[in-house]
């Protein structure tokens, strides 16, 4: 990757839509975080083309529902709170979905991808990944890549 491409990728992370620290529930007493990137990041790779997937809308939410955690198979109204959104760049990387904070609030998070707009003839209108950050993990980084094709997807916790 050329140096100017790397600068463009980094710039994309810094210029995307962000949200206030209050909505993220900043728990760090330090107003100047020591992290250099948000605690939750993502990128999308189109494995059917063998290239990054540009132009996919991404949304990050946290669980704020009536129960401590969403229960499988139960419907909720108003349980998810919006944290931020972005669109993947030419390298398939999402911009900043939340503020850069030292400590992320433990809890349940959901990251969703508008895959139907990217691949209208595909099987998945959107993909949502629900994951939990525990108290002991609040200083860790969580990278959730999405590997996508028209009829399948997979994900993992990356670095």
Mean pLDDT of the chain: 84
Print the domain residue range for 68.
Answer: 48-155
The total of structural domains in the chain comes to 1
Domain contains 33: no
According to the annotation, is 93 in a ligand binding site? yes
CATH code for position 57: 2.60.40.180
The string of DSSP codes covering 70-121 is PPTT---SS-EEEEEEEE--TTSB----S---SSPPPEEEEEEE-HHHH-TT
Residue 19 in any domain: the answer is: no
The β-bridge relationship of strands 40-41 and 44-46 is: unpaired
Structure tokens at 46: 């189109």
CA angle 47, 92, 23 (to 5 degrees): 125
**pTM confidence score:** 0.78
Q: Residue 122: pLDDT band by 50, 70, 90 thresholds?
A: very high
Residue 119 forms part of a structural domain: yes
Residue 13 annotated as lining a ligand binding site: no
pLDDT of residue 4: 56
């Amino acid at each position: 990757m050329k140096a100017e491409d790397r600068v463009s990728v980094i710039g994309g992370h810094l210029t995307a839509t962000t949200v206030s620290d209050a909505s993220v529930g900043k728990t760090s007493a330090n107003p100047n975080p020591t992290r250099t990137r948000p605690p939750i990041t993502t990128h999308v790779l189109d494995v059917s083309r063998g290239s990054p997937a540009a132009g996919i809308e991404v949304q990050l939410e946290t669980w704020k529902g009536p129960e401590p955690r969403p229960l499988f198979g139960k419907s909720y109204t108003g349980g998810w709170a919006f944290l931020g959104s972005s669109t993947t760049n030419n390298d398939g990387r999402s911009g900043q979905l939340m503020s850069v904070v030292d400590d992320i609030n433990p809890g349940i998070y959901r990251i969703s991808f508008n895959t139907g707009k990217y691949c209208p003839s595909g099987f998945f209108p959107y993909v949502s990944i629900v994951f939990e950050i525990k108290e002991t993990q609040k200083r860790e980084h969580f990278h959730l890549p999405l590997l996508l094709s028209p009829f399948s997807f997979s994900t993992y916790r990356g670095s």
